[in-house]
Amino acid sequence: MTGHMTFFPLGNADTTLLRLTNDDLILLDYANMRSATDTSDKRIDLPKALRSELADAGRKSFRVVAFTHLD
């Protein structure tokens, strides 16, 4: 398998997932900005998407989670 990056556009707070060739996962700038109550909010359900990525990689956790800024 080749490594790849997945970008999760969340408006003003993007999140990036790096999947390495050995299936290790690196998460950059987690930001779950989706509204739980606004049904018109079409942004991705980030927790659900990340659980899916973990399962697909056969992992239970990320190798690295990095935050580059506080917001």
The pLDDT tens digits of the residues spanning 8-42 come to 877 777 889 999 999 999 999 887 777 777 777 77
In this structure, is residue 53 part of a structural domain? yes
**Interstrand relation of 15-19 and 64-66 (parallel, antiparallel or unpaired):** unpaired
In this structure, is residue 45 part of a structural domain? yes
Does the pLDDT at position 71 exceed 70? no
In this structure, is residue 71 part of a structural domain? no
Q: Closest Cα partner for 6 from 41, 57, 40?
A: 57
Q: Which range marks the domain in which residue 51 is found? A: 4-66
Give the number of other CB atoms < 10 A from CB of residue 55. Answer: 10
Number of domains observed in the structure of the chain: 1
Q: How far is CA 33 from the centre of its chain?
A: 12
Q: Span 39-66, mean pLDDT?
A: 88
In this structure, is residue 46 part of a structural domain? yes
Global model pTM greater than 0.85: no
Longest dimension (CA), the chain: 38
CB 47 within 8 A of CB 12: no
In this structure, is residue 19 part of a structural domain? yes
Q: Which helix (H) or strand (E) holds 10?
A: none
